[in-house]
Structure 1
């Protein structure tokens, strides 16, 4: 089976997951990109993506392993969930962009 429907969720100030969405389509492939202002509610968004037929979800590095785990549990591990990772050279810069809440 080929990947033909991909979901990517990222965070950014003031973004609303209901309206801040984009779809890229080419042939049989589509990618759904969703922006959120904070991680709260990402589980529901992931569940909606699974119901919509997304085969793989990737989370922006700002979510971190805790939120990735919460998404995996929320969708009952039905599809692969990954998260963008950053090497040690980027850790301090990432902490400035995504301070702990």
Structure 2
């Protein structure tokens, strides 16, 4: 079974600044979603995911290149890390959604 994580920004998490986690999936793949207050992901979150068997980490579009580079550094090559990007044509919609 494949197990991967998607980390996204979720405002203030569960209200105390911690990550909010949910898991879903099928017999073939398990997805762990992790909402964090900001793109500055705590190293504990990364370590927990990898310790729990996550084989791939994907970051939402709120993570820019510098944020993604920090996560890649935290992961230290233990699993692949990717991040979502948006074309410039989507800037207005993103601004309307997130301010």
TM class, shorter-chain normalised? 0.7 to 0.9
Change (3 A) 1:19 1:66: closer
Contact 1:43 1:70 survives alignment (8 Å)? no
Alignment of 1:42-57 (within 5 A): 42-57=42-57
Aligned to 1:10: 8
**Pairs aligned (count):** 97
- Report the TM-score when normalising by structure 2: 0.81
Runs of 4+ aligned structure 1 residues displaced above 6 Å come to: none
* TM-score scaled by length of structure 1: 0.79
Q: Provide the C-alpha distance between the structure 1 equivalents of 2:3 and 2:79, rounded to a whole number of angstroms.
A: 11
Partner of 1:85: 85
Once the two structures are TM-superposed, the CA of residue 96 in structure 1 deviates from its matched residue by 5.8
Structure 1 residue 92, shift from structure 2 partner = 4.3
| Aligned match of 1:61 | 61
Contact 2:5 2:32 in 1 (8 A): yes
CA, structure 1 residues 36+45, in 2 after alignment: closer, same or farther (shift >3 Å)?
A: same
Q: CA RMSD in A?
A: 2.3
Give the secondary structure class of the aligned counterpart of 2:67: helix
Unaligned runs of 5+ in 2: none
